[in-house]
Structure 1
Amino acid sequence: ARVAEMADPRIAALAPPRAAELYGLTLLSEDVSDGEHNMTRFVVLARGGQPPVGEGPWMTSLIFEVKNIPAALYKAMGGFATNGVNMTKLESYQRGGSFAATEFYCDVVGRPGEPAFDRAIEELGFHSKWVRLLGTYRQARERG
């Protein structure tokens, strides 16, 4: 939308092809990755979530903050292991440069409503200060 507003032919955007249709832009190139293994995800933001529909396999992205206790991350991850839920990504962040609060972003295979997934998230919540599901989406390709 911003590129369309600017109307400057020297400016472009990296976005899904549908964005060019929506904003009346010209699609200059597709599949611009520099490696077959690269993957860019685009997200749709909404105030209220909608349950995923259709066939999986599904991925869910979430963030959480562990408690500031020994083995906090180990304990928080236990529910994924015991319930057979595959975590394909885990990134850590220190909020405000402090070592007192560690937040994590992760992607897991599965979606809310699947018993193993729900049990893993429940255990994660027990061992974390908070957990926030960011969204569930169909896998573009199998991971793991």
Structure 2
Amino acid sequence: MTSPSAATARIAYQGEPGANSHIVCQQHYPSMESVACASFEEVFATVRGGDADLAMIPIDNSIAGRVADIHHFLPDSGLHIVAEHFLRIQFHLMAVPGASLESLRTVHSHVHALGQCRRVIAEHGLTTVISGDTAGAAREIRDAADPTQAAIAPPLAAEIYGLDVLAADVEDEDHNTTRFIVLSREDVQASAGNGPVVTTFVFNVRNLPAALYKALGGFATNGVNMTKLESYMVDGEFTATQFLAEVDGHPDDPPVARALEELAFFTTDVKLLGVYPAAPFRATMES
């Protein structure tokens, strides 16, 4: 996609400076101003209100699974997916200058980061303290100026908050990767026939026997690869289930068009959330 003009270009993300979302913004949109937001709701509101042009949102992690709440926000956000990016997650154990591994007693971080770095925590007998996000934990450690406290956070956080890295790459799994999507007010769709494309959509199945099976049958019979299918309740109703799906291909491709047409027969609503270029990282993933 084409980025907004440099004079006004801003990209919003959830978290504090130094968070993984901030790192992805810097890697892929270096000419844009990165705007930190306290919550996902604030990120969406910032883009909808015109205070930012794009939003960078994590949606899945290879270890922790889907990011909570995002799937509920997307369908009614009024925004469109225009790109995706993958980030190999790196976590460092960091503390204030003068601290050492021997001086540490507690480690602060987001609950998911703590869960992804169990080995180093156990090795040093540290007590965990949950923070709102990883970069925020690094800021808290800087402000506390206590050599017994450490943070698990991305490398950029150590640079921003002036912390020493006591142990690098402390994540338990070296395949730890997060997928991010980029959202825009404008529905900028990738062109058909110009490289691999991902189509993301949501739908509700009709209250009929085997409706989901029938709804998805068109993708199988038309040879369309569905790479994601996740369900979640709508408005707390156990019988009102919404599905988020992703397929390889463009809605204008005849197989995808036929599959979506069949899907409509067995659903109450189909909403396209985005048609965007597949990230190069997908080509490196095992089939």
The TM-score normalised by the length of structure 2 is: 0.41
Match of 2:32 in 1: 22
Match of 2:250 in 1: 111
Structure 1 pair 108–32 and aligned structure 2 pair: CA distance change class (3 A): closer
Match of 2:89 in 1: 33
Match of 2:161 in 1: none
Q: Secondary structure at the match of 1:43?
A: strand
Q: What is the distance in 2 between the residues matched to 1:59 and 1:117?
A: 11
Q: Secondary structure at the match of 1:106?
A: strand
Unaligned runs of 5+ in 2: 1-10, 36-86, 91-173
Match of 1:7 in 2: none
- Deviation sequence 1:27-63 (CA, Å, 0-9, x none): xxxx55154362422213124x233137221111110
Q: What is the distance in 2 between the residues matched to 1:109 and 1:79?
A: 14
Specify which of 213, 232, 237 is matched with residue 93 of structure 1: 232
Equivalent positions of 1:1-144 (< 5 A) are: 11-13=17-19, 14=21, 15-17=24-26, 18-23=28-33, 31-34=87-90, 35-36=174-175, 38-47=177-186, 49-53=187-191, 55-140=194-279, 141-142=282-283, 144=287
> How far does residue 24 in structure 1 lie from its aligned partner after superposition?
6.7
Q: What is the distance in 2 between the residues matched to 1:32 and 1:38?
A: 4
Q: What is the distance in 2 between the residues matched to 1:131 and 1:122?
A: 10
Q: Secondary structure at the match of 1:88?
A: strand
Structure 1 pair 74–24 and aligned structure 2 pair: CA distance change class (3 A): closer
CA contact under 8 A between 1:67 and 1:101: conserved in structure 2?
no
Q: What is the distance in 1 between the residues matched to 2:216 and 2:176?
A: 27
Q: Percent identity?
A: 41
CA contact under 8 A between 1:63 and 1:133: conserved in structure 2?
yes
CA contact under 8 A between 2:88 and 2:176: conserved in structure 1?
no
Q: What is the distance in 1 between the residues matched to 2:184 and 2:34?
A: 21
Q: Which amino acid aligns with 2:263?
A: L
> How far does residue 117 in structure 1 lie from its aligned partner after superposition?
0.4
CA contact under 8 A between 2:231 and 2:243: conserved in structure 1?
yes
The TM-score normalised by the length of structure 1 is: 0.78
Q: Which amino acid aligns with 1:132?
A: K
Q: What is the distance in 2 between the residues matched to 1:69 and 1:24?
A: 46
Q: Secondary structure at the match of 2:251?
A: coil
Structure 1 pair 12–119 and aligned structure 2 pair: CA distance change class (3 A): same
Q: Which amino acid aligns with 2:224?
A: V
Which gives a bigger RCO, structure 1 or 2 (Cα 8 Å, sep 6+)?
Answer: 1
Larger radius of gyration: 2
Q: What is the distance in 2 between the residues matched to 1:44 and 1:127?
A: 28
